[in-house]
Amino acid sequence: MKRKSLGFILVDALYIAMMTLPIIAGIVLKILTKPASSGITVTGAQIYFTLPLPVQDLPVTESQINSLIVMITALGICLFLTHGLRTRNISRRQHLVEWAIEKVDAMTLDSMGEYFKGFPPFIMSILILSALSSLLSLFGLFPPTSDINIVAGWAILVFLLITYYKFKCGPLGYVKSFCDPPLLAPLNVISEVATPISMAFRHYGNVLSGSVIGVLIATGLQGLSRIVLGWLPGFFGEFPFLQIGLPAVLSIYFDVFSGCLQAYIFAMLTMMYVSGAFNADEYFARKKKKLKN
């Protein structure tokens, strides 16, 4: 195998720094700005500062800062994995990238059909953004997916895509989609509005509940350790021995498995709702009729 040049190694180091430094900066910012507290505290995203605006002041919170951290980190990961692509004697990172792209392409094709063959980059972006946002909790940072405002923004974007593909069959086709059958038109309208709400609350609720359960169990084990082992002399009586092990195991489920699972579910729901909103037969029949005229 051809030896890597110094320039190639330096570029790799730059991309690795792009992946790691934003997270380190987020941890330092969290330590410097976190207010002192005692006991169990379950709060939302911390407000770092507020920007005065003419209509309403804009609070800059952990969710926004950590979302920026996730985007920079994701960009660094993508640049690192795609650095040095070639057609022969490919590297292990290129094997990984090609495998991931093939899987997402196949998943999108199976779920959405041939018409949506340009959607895999969007679906991959959803998977990466959602998974990395949830995994930030492993570093002690507030996961943006625990903020309903962040996840609601993603759901609104999906809702706009749903509406766009319904309008592909014309305004009349969009109205007709609510009247199938006509007696259930009010329920169909409610269902349409409920789609982004249910997507947002499902994702947000599952991630937030995992974080809350983890904090409660860790705090409970700390108190139990003081009750059971508090009779030990000095340091041994104060050290939370029962806190060792179980919170880490729970973190593997709530932070890693559940976070990645919720990213997959959100991506699948996106594909299902967008492809389900598009009536391919009616669209192509309408397009054929226009060409004849």
- What is the distance between the alpha carbons of residues 219 and 267, in angstroms, rounded to a whole number? 34
CB 256 within 8 A of CB 150: no
Q: What is the pLDDT of residues 236-263, one digit of tens each?
A: 656 665 666 566 666 677 777 888 888 9
Quick one: pLDDT at residue 1? 47
Give φ, ψ of 223 to 5 degrees. -65, -40
The secondary structure of 177-244 as a DSSP string is: TT-SSGGGHHHHHHHHHHHHHHHHHHHHHHHHHHHHHHHHHHHHHHHHHHHHHTTS-THHHHS-GGGS
3-state DSSP percent of the chain in helix, strand and coil, to 5: 75, 5, 20
- pTM listed for this prediction: 0.82
Q: What is the pLDDT of residues 8-62, one digit of tens each?
A: 889 999 999 999 999 999 999 988 887 766 555 666 788 888 888 888 888 888 9
